[in-house]
Amino acid sequence: MLVLGIDTSCDDTSVAIYDSQRHELLSEKISSDVELHSKFGGVVPEIAARQHLEIIIPMLELAFDEAGIAPDPETINLIAATRGPGLIGGLLVGLGCAKALSLGWNVPFVGVNHLEGHLASAALTHPEIPYPHIALVVSGGHSEIYKANSVTDYVLLGETRDDAAGELLDKVGRLLDVPFPAGPTIDKWTLDHVKDELPVKFPRPLLNKKDTVEFSYSGLKTACLYFLRSEKSKNISREIIGAEVFRAVVDCLLGKAFLACENENLETLIISGGVAASEYLRREAEDRSMSLGINVMFPDPKHCTDNAAMIALAGLRRFENKGPDEFDLDCDSSIAVGE
């Protein structure tokens, strides 16, 4: 079965064609609009939606050209598009495009939960995923821990009470005058000081509370803000401050993820989402997992950020489990996993 995947949930426009029989991506195209949004310090929903509308058709054409197949119902068997969560304007473009192609080609379509795409993304790199396992999804909008019982059965164990990890990094990036998105820059700073004893220490909210696997990052942002206003910060570089913030973020992420593994008596942890592309996070996860006897798995870095390949795979799983969706299916910017 050939699955056409479309993702327009945020600022990137992505199209992919996935061959389920060979477990192979025939094509994958992503258009990043980060330069359009960087001068605003974050994604502007209206600009993102207009850009999706302008380039979705050219992106489809590029994907079919790369796959070497014709864009018609003789080749594509299923169309999958993100229906939420995400920015509603962009979601409308992608889902509307999927419905139009479905209607014109008489090919079934499914609306995909974007988080279920992230939960499926590791399988693009590791075909044999053990179930059940613990799944940590960490991105600009989400920091959540799930127990994955199967490819379609996920139980939410804990989530952030306020800011998501990626959101926190972008807010701290603005405080430190780091261009959007701040994550890659702060990740590099942290790697540069990975063995150093830093002259500043920020809190690790909820880390020592063993009765919860939730996160809280707003207090960490506030601690950074107050430190930057203090006299102590004048002799400490922004690189050091950013590195300590990210250390705190990763300590909380991994502390709670490994606690979930212990609580559920599971030996596999899968980490996905945009922040999972961080080299520092990957190193720390692998180092800590060895002493705990936990098998940690990540998607390929290119499939950590938003992409249509994971939407195609998650859409295939949904179709096999629940069948096609109807044309009255609507976007939902706050849909929960499993809905």
What tens digit of pLDDT does each residue of 288-321 get? 999 999 999 999 999 999 999 999 999 999 999 9
Q: Do domains 2-119+304-322 and 130-298 have the same CATH topology?
A: yes
CA dist 103 and 327 (Å) reads 9
Supply the DSSP string of 27-53, one letter for each residue: EEEEE--HHHHHTTTS--HHHHHHHHH
For domain 130-298, give the fold: Nucleotidyltransferase; domain 5 (3.30.420)
What tens digit of pLDDT does each residue of 175-202 get? 999 998 999 999 999 999 999 999 999 9
Structure-derived torsion over alpha carbons of residues 34, 35, 36, 39, reported in degrees to the nearest 10:
110
- Other beta carbons within 10 angstroms of residue 199's beta carbon come to 12
189 phi/psi in degrees, rounded to 5: -60, -40
Sorting pLDDT into bands at 50, 70 and 90, what band is 339? confident
Sorting pLDDT into bands at 50, 70 and 90, what band is 338? confident
% of the chain at pLDDT higher than 70: 99
Amino acid 296: pLDDT? 98
Amino acid 45: pLDDT? 84
- pTM of the complete model: 0.95
Name the least confident of 25-34, 35-44, 137-146.
Answer: 35-44
**Spans of all domains in the chain:** 2-119+304-322, 130-298
Check whether domain 2-119+304-322 has CATH 3.30.420.40, yes or no: yes
Calculate mean pLDDT across residues 206-226.
97
Q: What is the mean pLDDT of the chain?
A: 95
Amino acid 73: pLDDT? 86
Amino acid 120: pLDDT? 97
Calculate mean pLDDT across residues 221-245.
96
Residue-wise burial string across 101-132, b where 16 or more C-beta atoms lie within 10 A, e elsewhere:
bbeebebebbbbbbbbbbbbbbbbeeeebeeb
Say whether 186 sits in a helix, a strand or coil. Answer: helix
Sorting pLDDT into bands at 50, 70 and 90, what band is 40? confident
In this predicted structure, the answer to whether residue 95 has a pLDDT above a threshold of 80 is: yes
How many residues are present in the chain? 339
Largest CA distance in the chain: 68
Amino acid 128: pLDDT? 92
